[in-house]
C-alpha cells in the first residue's frame, strides 16, 4: 500500500469535466497538502516517453560524461546556481547534481546569485530540447495544481496564478553513487524542507532511499510509483497558506550497490513575487510568524547556505 495518497489529476485537467468533478480533485489535493504534505500525482498528462527520455539523459550524463566535461559545466562563482556541482558531506551524504533554472536577466556584472542563463551539455545534441520540452510541460502542470489549490482554498485563482505565471522553476538532476564498500562515502541529502511552492519528483525505481519525516517524527519510505510524480510542498506554499499546507521534511539515505537518479522539478514563485498569506489567521497563531517574503531573497539565502560543502565550483 502506498504511504501517501495517490491523486488522479485527469478529471481536473479534462475540459469535459463538470465543476463537481474538478472540485473533487481539488479537495483531494487540499487534504493531502494539509496532512502529509506529500502525495503521488497520476493522470498528469506528461507523456511517459518524455519522462523516460529525461531520465535516460540524466543517467547518461552522470555515467558517461568525462571529469573534464563536468568541470566545464561547473557552477560559476557569480550565479552560484546553474550547472554541475558535487556536494560532499561525510555525515549527511554526498551527491552530484546538474541544475537548470528559468533564465533571469542579470542586474549587473558579475551577475547575482540565481541570475543569468543555463549551461547546457553539448552531448547528446537533443539534451537541451528534451529538457526544455519537459520544463514547459511541468510549468503547465504546476500552474494547473495551483489553480486546483486556489479552488479548494476559495481564493482568487487569478491572484494565485499571477505569482507563478513566470515561475522561477528549477530542474535538478541528482546522482547518488553506489555504495562500493562499507567505508566508502555515504550517498544522500540531509534532512530539509524544500523552499519553493511544489516539487514534482521523477526518480528511477530505487526503493528505500527517499524518506519523509512523519508527524510523529519517524522516517517513512517514499518509494516511487512508475508513471506518477511524487509531489511535496515547499516553504512558500506554507507561507501562502499560513501554515495550513505543510512543507514536510525529507532526506535521502542511499546505501545500495547500484546508483540512484532523481530529478526534482521545483515549481517556485516568480523571481520578484512577494508571497504573503492569503487565508485569515487563526486563533493562537504566533504573532508575526507569517509576514510574507520576497521570493528571490529567500532563494539567495537558501543558495548561500546550500553551497557550503560544494566541491565543484569554479572561481
Ligand atoms: O533525491 C530525491 O529523491 C529528493 C531530493 C531532494 O529532496 C531535493 O533535491 O530537494
Ligand atoms: Fe527536497
Say how many Å lie between the CA of residue 163 and the centre of ligand 2.
Answer: 22
Reference 164, options 184, 187, 179, 148; nearest CA is: 148
> Mind listing the pLDDT tens digit for each residue in 239-285?
999 999 999 999 999 999 999 999 999 999 999 999 999 888 876 67
What average pLDDT does this structure show over 183-188? Answer: 80
In the beta sheet, which residues pair with residue 83?
99
Which atom of ligand 1 is nearest to 194's Cα?
10
Give 88-142 pLDDT, tens digit per residue: 888 888 999 999 999 999 998 889 899 999 999 999 999 999 999 999 999 999 9
Domain coordinates of the chain in residue numbers?
6-306
Which atom of ligand 1 approaches the CA of 250 most closely? 7
Determine the atom of ligand 1 nearest the C-alpha atom of 222: 3
From the CA of 306, how far away is ligand 2's center (Å)? Answer: 12
Distance CA(266)–CA(233), nearest Å, equals 10
Rounded Cα distance, 300 and 140, in Å: 25
Asked whether 203 lines ligand 1 (CB < 6 A), one says yes
> What ipTM does the predicted assembly reach?
0.99
**Residue 95 CB less than 6 A away from ligand 1:** no
Judged by its nearest atom, the ligand closest to the C-alpha of residue 172 is 1
Cα–Cα dist 254/177, whole Å: 8
**pLDDT above 70 for 312:** no
- The mean pLDDT of 169-182, rounded to a whole number, is 91
Q: What is the pLDDT of residue 110?
A: 87
High-pLDDT (> 90) share of the chain, %: 80
> With bands split at pLDDT 50, 70 and 90, how would you rate the model's confidence at 315?
very low
The pLDDT of residue 253: 95
Torsion angle defined by CA atoms of residues 276, 280, 281 and 282, in that order, rounded to the nearest 10 degrees = -150
Quote the ligand 2 centre to 299 CA distance (angstroms). Answer: 14
Arithmetic mean of pLDDT over the chain: 93
CATH number for the region 6-306 comes to 2.60.120.330
* pLDDT reading at 51 higher than 80: yes
Q: What is the structure's pLDDT at 311?
A: 63
Predicted confidence (pLDDT) at residue 1 exceeds the cutoff of 50 = no
Site to probe by mutation for ligand 1, drawn from 177, 189, 230, 305 as the one with most ligand atoms within 8 Å of Cβ, is: 189
Query: Contact at 8 Å (CB) between 63 and 237?
Result: no
Amino acid at each position: 500500500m502506498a504511504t501517501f495518497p495517490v491523486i488522479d489529476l485527469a478529471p481536473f485537467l479534462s475540459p469535459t469535466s463538470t465543476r463537481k468533478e474538478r472540485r473533487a480533485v481539488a479537495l483531494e489535493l487540499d487534504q493531502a497538502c494539509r496532512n502529509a504534505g506529500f502525495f503521488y500525482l497520476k493522470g498528469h498528462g506528461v507523456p511517459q516517453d518524455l519522462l523516460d527520455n529525461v531520465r535516460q539523459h540524466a543517467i547518461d550524463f552522470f555515467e558517461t560524461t568525462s571529469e573534464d566535461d563536468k568541470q566545464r559545466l561547473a557552477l560559476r562563482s557569480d550565479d552560484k546556481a546553474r550547472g554541475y556541482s558535487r556536494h560532499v558531506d561525510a555525515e549527511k551524504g554526498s551527491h552530484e547534481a546538474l541544475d537548470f533554472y528559468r533564465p533571469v536577466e542579470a542586474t549587473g556584472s558579475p551577475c547575482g546569485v540565481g541570475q543569468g542563463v543555463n549551461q547546457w551539455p553539448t552531448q547528446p545534441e537533443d539534451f537541451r530540447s528534451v529538457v526544455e520540452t519537459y520544463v514547459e510541460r511541468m510549468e503547465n502542470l504546476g500552474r494547473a495544481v495551483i489553480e486546483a489549490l486556489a479552488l479548494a482554498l476559495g481564493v482568487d485563482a487569478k491572484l494565485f496564478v499571477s505569482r507563478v505565471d513566470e515561475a522561477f522553476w528549477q530542474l535538478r538532476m541528482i546522482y547518488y553513487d553506489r555504495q562500493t564498500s562499507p567505508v566508502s562515502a555515504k550517498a544522500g541529502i540531509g534532512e530539509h524542507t524544500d523552499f519553493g511552492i511544489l516539487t514534482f519528483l521523477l526518480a528511477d525505481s530505487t526503493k528505500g532511499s527517499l524518506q519523509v519525516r512523519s508527524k510523529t517524527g519517524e522516517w517513512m519510505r517514499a518509494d516511487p510509483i512508475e508513471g506518477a510524480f511524487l509531489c511535496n510542498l515547499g516553504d512558500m506554499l506554507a507561507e501562502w497558506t499560513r501554515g495550513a499546507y505543510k512543507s514536510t521534511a525529507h532526506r535521502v539515505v542511499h546505501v545500495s550497490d547500484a546508483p540512484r537518479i532523481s530529478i526534482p522539478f521545483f515549481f517556485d514563485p516568480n523571481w520578484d513575487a512577494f508571497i504573503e498569506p492569503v487565508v485569515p489567521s487563526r486563533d493562537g497563531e504566533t504573532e508575526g510568524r507569517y509576514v510574507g517574503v520576497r521570493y528571490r531573497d529567500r532563494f539567495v539565502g537558501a543558495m548561500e547556505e546550500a553551497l557550503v560543502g560544494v566541491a565543484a565550483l569554479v572561481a
